[in-house]
Structure 1
């Protein structure tokens, strides 16, 4: 069976998986795409969690963990993915079209959730590449604006075209039915590009070192303070590990669902 036929073939649910239909697909560039699928009525998740997603494989489903990009109240589930031409799953997943079927895990989980953080004033969401996905869910959660007075989303990519959802983020979620007013006052978006000209360039660590990450809008000092600041990180393994070491040195503690702390990383992706 060809990859295309395997994608559209009728799938069978199991105890661990439901079968959902693709609703829409958007190709941002040759390396990046996003898509929405139907949401089972019983499917519940916390903003920032991930779930297993996949297609039929050799004798068993081929599954990978994907952060949920849609808000927890949305009728559809949205995901953001890279395109890997020889990847076992993404080489096929990038070819999906509306109407195709996918496997969806029944049990979302993860540590990139507000419950894994202690109370604070400023929340920094630091992402590279498709690590943006869980934060797209978090910033549209009304509860996050009750927990923190300022939310800063930093997205570092190589090229300008990699800035998925840029227009939505630059308008501070204008038109969002639940958080539009809060986001206008409390949310800030800082995209940065490392390999092309852009108004902000450089990696996240460079933005921290020279103070550009601490936007005037959010107030507070131009440095991280474990007494008031909380951090979530998702993206490249190198970024997460380097910044975690930096936060450890500043006196921050890593949090979890069982023991909330000052910063969190999704360990399922970092290893």
Structure 2
């Protein structure tokens, strides 16, 4: 608004407008410069921080240019995720990992905290997502091609929930004693839930067996549960549509997983 007012003043005066024109140009330049610097603040903080730590030094010129381009606005979007291969996302996510950078820096005050990169995809899907490389890569290749942001977030939430303690970016990163206590409480709840049923031992889920050892079977079970849910007439139309979306994406996850397993086998 200030710039528009200055411009109006300039056009309203002729002979006496020189000083007004100079002030207007100067003010406009200062405002534009200030706006430009404000826009660059998130970018310069993240990029300058990584440069100061030498994080770009081991990258190829192409990867360095790509990563800096992605970091320009301080937000990691779904479209930017599509530009990265699985191998690149591992390097990228490691570079911008707030917890890792925090532990390396050991800051004394909040002012010394490393910059935080916002993400619109919910997770960076690193190679440490689970202890299974093929599943991690298959999940990344699946999720990055989900077009709708809400669908992507909902699907990731469903996967994270299904992984439980196997999710190293979720419950799996909790200290062991906390996980052990949670398992005890969950087992108690299961026994209470089915205490009045016949043969409760056939219904009770044993949370001690939380570790996923066969991810092919895990994906297959997910697929079947979503397939059943999406045709369950007891559920609302919206809920069934959500499970249909989960089912379709899990079919893709299964295809990606099988392909990666095949490539690994014959590598």
TM-score by length of 1: 0.27
Higher relative contact order (CA 8 A, sep 6+): 1
Larger radius of gyration: 2
| Structure with the larger helix share | 2
| Structure with the larger strand share | 1
TM-score by length of 2: 0.27
